[in-house]
């Protein structure tokens, strides 16, 4: 298990946040994903097998840009 | 920590909306002018087809250049099925614009000017909304910007200014009066008072001297301090607070669930509804132009944003207000649960009292000297970590201790061990009863001490009482005021403690708590909370370390910080400074926030419930629809900002 903090660019609406959450939750190994349109931050709880690349792909699949992952 | 980048996202968002907005209107104002002249005065600036061409040319950049990010995101959403707000706007504007091209065949009304106006209003709305959202997060942003940028490091006899990122644990930093303490550390030389209000919410300056901890980002006031760095970067107190606040923004509040569900299916539903509206109107009226106008109005009036922003903006404003006062809301859920809470349970030690017990009295039986009693007690208690043990050790202030063998801590009761061949047991009455040690010789003094709210430790050797040590833990200055307020709000206030009944009652009386649960072992606190929960929702207030299970068991757990350390993992709400006034503020803040969220959700629902049918009915012009939409989300965010005006102290 690991906990990641994402910084995401391009969100300007609440449906954006829910889109990113949905896309992140589709990655197998992701247990929880919460995205805030207010802070432009996302918090992901995932198994160790989930790579940063998977996360980045999921964010861009929903149409947004991952700026930082920590 | 690097927060500059994030600030840039916020600011660049507002800036880019602003430039788009200006350019959009430069092109849209002439369009509006031409359209008005035509509609109202039946005048044309240029001859027909040319006028249409002029509008098409003017509208093009508004929709497809300044509006391009929206169009792109919207189309992408339509293709990938990750629908968003942009999908509605882009579909609405693109269709409207296309009518301008089709209009040359003469069968349809030209909506291309309307397309530009929709986009211009959309952009304006987004700009105002982004600004309002900026205001919502103002307090939090202040927190992010609080950290020092540089530090003055001392090496040998020289001082250097270095960037904060280069400071390492162990570095000696020099802080002059009026300067910001760069990072967490411990004072090694100098004395000063430090303003910690920006981090802990504690309004009075805190005196610092050698050996005391200082928090990064607080302001040194009047003396020079030499500080040895203990924590840097992500490990600092401030970084923990920021992390906690940021993480809380993503937590869900139950009331928001319905809104979230609706938001997630909102866009596709509106797309279908809009198509049905168009078809319905076309069949009934046979007027394709009019039907298109109505269909577009439905697309652009629907606003998932107002629904989706209702809760997060209020939570954001609330978090900012809390952080300023040293109240950190970790779980948004607590805001909703708080209003159901009927019972407020306080742990005694460290919550109502200062948690720093001191020896106040010593009574010995005949033939035993006070010094001898302390000597024996301190030798044993030296091996224990308990605050009472520390109080005894401090009082004795021995230069050397006796050798103790077979030392054991008896949790919640006392300690035992051997000095030479003698068995020494020090503890409370429960322990004495357990070991069948008779107390008649000192019973009177035990009773007297307990009636004063003091905790008594009985010292015995070989099952014989030697004397009793009374320890008092003074009540925090503002505990009484806080509990008076809670009582006046109608809460049932309860104190829970490991102390015996008499001591506990004496303390409870001092602060105005009517109900006491005494003699509770640390591990049973959670169970007692559970029992109380039968009669109503419980908020538990305790320190985050010993009381973690009780904090978890309660409906709302409020963890008390100690000023330099915060218990991050336990507690739905964390109070950075240890003041109980924070509990009152946290309750008031939660209630005010929840009320605001309910208001916001009500307006957001009401807006959509009223506006969408109006659009379907064809009452609203698409441009009016767009203006209404923009106003709805601006209203929600602005309403959330009004929370700042609430008095919670």
Question: Dihedral angle at the C-alpha atoms of B546, B552, B554, B560, nearest 10 degrees?
Answer: 50
Q: Of B221, B226, B195, B197, nearest to B209 (Cα)?
A: B226
User: Does the structure show a pLDDT above 80 at B195?
Assistant: yes
Q: What are the φ/ψ torsions at residue A64 (nearest 5 degrees)?
A: -130, 175
User: Does the structure show a pLDDT above 90 at B257?
Assistant: no
**What is the DSSP-derived secondary structure letter of residue B159?**
E
Domain assignment of residue A18, given as a range: 2-69
A interface test, pick of B86, B249, B259 with most A CB neighbours within 10 Å:
B249
Beta strands in B378-524, from DSSP E residues, in sequence order: 404-410, 414-419, 422-427, 455-461, 464-472, 492-496, 515-517
Q: Of B163, B148, B164, nearest to B199 (Cα)?
A: B148
A63 to chain B nearest CA, in Å? 7
Please write the tens of the pLDDT for every residue from B364-399: 998 899 999 999 999 999 998 888 899 999 999 988
How high is the pLDDT of residue B2?
A: 43
How many helices (H) and strands (E) chain B has is answered by 22, 22
**Which of the residue ranges B98-112, B321-335, B385-399 would you say has the lowest mean pLDDT?**
B98-112
User: Under 8 Å CB-to-CB from B627, ≥6 apart: which residues?
Assistant: B121
Strand partners, B410: B414
Please write the tens of the pLDDT for every residue from B133-167: 888 888 888 888 889 999 999 998 899 999 999 99
The bridge status of strand B455-461 relative to strand B464-472 is antiparallel
Average pLDDT of B107-123?
90
Please write the tens of the pLDDT for every residue from B421-448: 999 999 998 899 999 999 888 899 999 9
Is any Cβ of chain B less than 8 angstroms from the Cβ of A42?
yes
Q: Which residues of B touch A (CB under 8 A)?
A: 5-6, 9-10, 13, 73, 76-77, 80, 82-86, 126, 130, 133, 136-137, 140, 246-247, 249-252, 260, 263-264, 266-267, 304-305, 307-309, 312-313, 315-316
Interface contact flag, B9 A19, Cβ < 8 Å: no
**What is the DSSP-derived secondary structure letter of residue B339?**
T
Q: How far is CA B334 from CA B235, B243, B310, B325, in A?
A: 26, 18, 17, 17
What residues of B are in contact with residue A22 (Cβ under 8 Å)?
A: 82, 264
Q: How confident is the model at residue B562 (pLDDT cuts 50, 70, 90)?
A: low
A52 to chain B nearest CA, in Å? 19
Is residue B423 within 8 Å of residue B387, measured between CB atoms? no
User: Does the structure show a pLDDT above 80 at B567?
Assistant: no
> In the sheet that B556-560 helps form, which strands lie side by side, from edge to edge?
B327-329, B573-575, B556-560, B537-543, B341-347, B492-496, B515-517
Our answer to whether residue B452 is catalytic in this structure is no
User: Under 8 Å CB-to-CB from B636, ≥6 apart: which residues?
Assistant: B305, B306, B309, B310, B313, B600, B603, B604
Distance (Å, rounded) from C-alpha B469 to C-alpha B370? Answer: 10
Element (H, E) at B575: strand B573-575
Query: Which of B77, B246, B305 is the closest to A41 by Cβ?
Result: B246
Strand partners, B350: none
Strand partners, B152: B161
Distance (Å, rounded) from C-alpha B437 to C-alpha B457? Answer: 13
What residues of A are in contact with residue B73 (Cβ under 8 Å)?
A: 10, 63
Interface contact flag, A15 B267, Cβ < 8 Å: yes
Query: Which of A7, A16, A34 is the closest to B250 by Cβ?
Result: A34
b/e burial code for range B467-505 (CB count within 10 A of at least 16 → b): bbbbbbbbbbeebbbbbebbeeeebbbbbbbbbbebbbb
Is residue B175 within 8 Å of residue B152, measured between CB atoms? yes
How high is the pLDDT of residue B3?
A: 46
Distance (Å, rounded) from C-alpha B377 to C-alpha B369? Answer: 12
Please write the tens of the pLDDT for every residue from B10-23: 778 888 889 999 99
How high is the pLDDT of residue B407?
A: 93
Is any Cβ of chain B less than 8 angstroms from the Cβ of A16?
yes
Q: How confident is the model at residue B418 (pLDDT cuts 50, 70, 90)?
A: very high
Q: Greater confidence, B377 or B547?
A: B377
Query: Which of B10, B80, B263 is the closest to A63 by Cβ?
Result: B80
A64 to chain B nearest CA, in Å? 9
CB hemisphere CA count around B525 (13 angstroms): 31
How high is the pLDDT of residue B564?
A: 55
Average pLDDT of B485-510?
93
Average pLDDT of B494-519?
92
- DSSP of B279-322, one letter per residue? HHHHHHH--HHHHHHHHHHHHHH--HHHHHHHHHHHHHHHHHHH
> What whole-number percentage of chain B has pLDDT above 70?
97
Q: How confident is the model at residue B9 (pLDDT cuts 50, 70, 90)?
A: low
How high is the pLDDT of residue B1?
A: 39
> In the sheet that B225-229 helps form, which strands lie side by side, from edge to edge?
B158-163, B150-155, B172-175, B225-229, B185-189, B213-214
Say which CATH number the domain at A32 has: 3.30.70.100
Q: What are the φ/ψ torsions at residue B419 (nearest 5 degrees)?
A: -115, 115
Is residue B518 within 8 Å of residue B504, measured between CB atoms? yes
Average pLDDT of B566-576?
77
> In the sheet that B192-195 helps form, which strands lie side by side, from edge to edge?
B206-208, B192-195, B219-220
User: Does the structure show a pLDDT above 90 at B30?
Assistant: yes
Average pLDDT of B414-426?
94
Query: Which of A22, A35, A38 is the closest to B133 by Cβ?
Result: A38
Query: What is the CA angle B306-B311-B312, rounded to 5?
Result: 95
Is residue B416 within 8 Å of residue B425, measured between CB atoms? yes
Is residue A63 within 8 Å of residue B77, measured between CB atoms? yes
User: Which ipTM did the prediction report?
Assistant: 0.87
How high is the pLDDT of residue A38?
A: 84
Q: How confident is the model at residue B4 (pLDDT cuts 50, 70, 90)?
A: very low
How high is the pLDDT of residue B612?
A: 94
A68 to chain B nearest CA, in Å? 10
Question: Dihedral angle at the C-alpha atoms of B97, B103, B108, B113, nearest 10 degrees?
Answer: 40
Query: Which of B6, B137, B250 is the closest to A7 by Cβ?
Result: B6
Q: Return the axis-axis angle of helices B50-60 and B4-41, rounded to nearest 10°.
A: 170
Work out the end-to-end distance of chain B between its first and last CA atoms, rounded to an integer number of angstroms. Answer: 32
Q: Of B17, B31, B37, B92, nearest to B60 (Cα)?
A: B31
SS (H, E, C) B71-130: HHHHHHHHHHCCCCHHHHHHHHHHHHHHHHHHHHHCCCCCCHHHHHHHHHHHHHHHHHHH
CB hemisphere CA count around B373 (13 angstroms): 25
Please write the tens of the pLDDT for every residue from A34-62: 888 888 889 999 999 999 999 999 999 88
Mean pLDDT, chain B, rounded, equals: 90
Query: What is the CA angle B303-B308-B313, rounded to 5?
Result: 120
The total number of structural domains that make up chain A: 1
The residue from B347, B473, B543, B547 that is catalytic is: B347
Element (H, E) at B196: none
Q: How confident is the model at residue B568 (pLDDT cuts 50, 70, 90)?
A: low
């Amino acid at each position: 298990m690991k906990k990641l903090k994402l910084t995401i660019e391009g969100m300007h609406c609440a449906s954006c946040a829910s889109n990113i959450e949905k896309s992140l939750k589709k990655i197998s190994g992701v247990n929880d994903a919460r995205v805030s349109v207010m802070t432009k931050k996302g918090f992901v709880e995932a198994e160790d097998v989930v790579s940063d690349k998977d996360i980045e792909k999921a964010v861009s699949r929903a149409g947004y840009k991952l700026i930082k992952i920590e | 920590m690097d927060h500059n980048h994030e600030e840039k996202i916020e600011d660049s968002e507002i800036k880019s909306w602003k430039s788009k907005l200006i350019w959009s209107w430069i092109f849209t104002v002439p369009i509006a002018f031409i359209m008005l002249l035509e509609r109202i005065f039946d005048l044309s600036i240029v001859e027909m087809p040319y006028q249409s061409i002029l509008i098409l040319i003017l509208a093009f950049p508004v929709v497809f250049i300044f509006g391009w990010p929206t169009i792109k995101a919207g189309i992408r959403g339509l293709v990938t099925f990750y629908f968003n707000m942009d999908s509605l706007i882009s579909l609405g504007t693109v269709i409207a614009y296309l009518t301008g091209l089709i209009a040359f065949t003469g069968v349809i009304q030209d909506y291309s000017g309307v397309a530009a106006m929709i986009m211009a209003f959309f952009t304006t709305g987004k700009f105002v909304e982004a600004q309002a959202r900026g205001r919502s997060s103002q307090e939090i942003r202040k927190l992010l910007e609080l950290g020092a940028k540089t530090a003055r490091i001392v090496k040998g006899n020289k001082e250097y200014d270095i960037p904060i990122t280069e400071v390492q644990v162990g570095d000696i930093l020099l802080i002059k009066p009026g300067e910001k303490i760069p990072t967490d550390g411990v004072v090694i030389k100098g004395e000063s008072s430090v303003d910690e209000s920006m981090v802990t919410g504690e309004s009075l300056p805190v005196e610092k001297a050698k050996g005391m901890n200082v928090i990064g980002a607080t302001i040194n006031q009047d003396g020079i301090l030499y500080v040895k760095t203990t924590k840097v970067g992500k490990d600092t107190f401030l970084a923990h607070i920021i992390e906690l606040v940021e993480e809380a923004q993503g937590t869900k509040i139950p009331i928001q669930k319905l809104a979230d569900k609706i938001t997630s299916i909102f866009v596709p539903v509106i797309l279908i509804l809009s198509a049905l509206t168009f078809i319905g109107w076309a069949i009934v009226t046979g007027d394709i132009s009019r039907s298109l106008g109505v269909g577009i109005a439905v697309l652009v009036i629907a606003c998932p944003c107002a629904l989706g922003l209702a809760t997060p903006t209020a939570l954001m404003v609330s978090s900012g207000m809390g952080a300023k006062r040293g109240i950190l809301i970790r779980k948004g859920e607590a805001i909703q649960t708080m209003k159901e809470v009927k019972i407020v349970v306080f742990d005694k030690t460290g919550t109502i009292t200062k948690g720093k017990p001191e020896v106040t009295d010593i009574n010995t039986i005949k033939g035993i000297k006070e010094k001898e009693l302390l000597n024996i007690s301190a030798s044993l208690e030296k091996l224990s970590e308990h605050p009472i043990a520390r109080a005894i050790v401090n009082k004795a202030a021995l230069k050397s201790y006796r050798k103790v063998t077979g030392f054991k801590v008896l949790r919640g009761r006392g300690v035992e061990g051997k000095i030479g061949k003698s068995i020494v047991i020090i503890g409370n009455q429960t322990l004495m009863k357990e070991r069948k040690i008779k107390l008649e010789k000192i019973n009177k003094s035990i009773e007297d001490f307990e009636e004063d709210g003091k905790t008594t430790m009985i010292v015995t050797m070989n099952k014989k009482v030697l004397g009793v040590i009374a320890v008092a833990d003074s009540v925090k200055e503002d505990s009484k005021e806080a509990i008076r307020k809670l009582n006046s709000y109608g809460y049932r206030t309860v104190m829970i403690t490991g102390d015996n009944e008499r001591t506990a009652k004496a303390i409870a009386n001092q602060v105005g708590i009517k109900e006491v649960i005494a003699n509770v072992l640390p591990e049973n606190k959670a169970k007692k909370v559970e029992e109380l929960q039968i009669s109503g929702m419980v908020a538990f207030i305790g320190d985050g370390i010993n009381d973690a299970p009780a904090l978890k068991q309660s409906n709302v757990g409020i963890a008390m910080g100690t000023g330099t350390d915060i218990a991050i993992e336990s507690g739905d709400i964390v109070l950075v400074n240890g003041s109980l006034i924070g509990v009152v503020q946290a309750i008031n803040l939660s209630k005010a926030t929840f009320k605001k969220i309910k208001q916001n959700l009500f307006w957001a629902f009401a807006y959509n419930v009223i506006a969408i049918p109006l659009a379907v009915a064809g009452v609203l012009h698409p441009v009016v629809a767009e203006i209404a939409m923009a106003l709805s989300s601006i209203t929600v965010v602005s309403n959330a900002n009004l929370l700042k005006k609430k008095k919670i102290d």
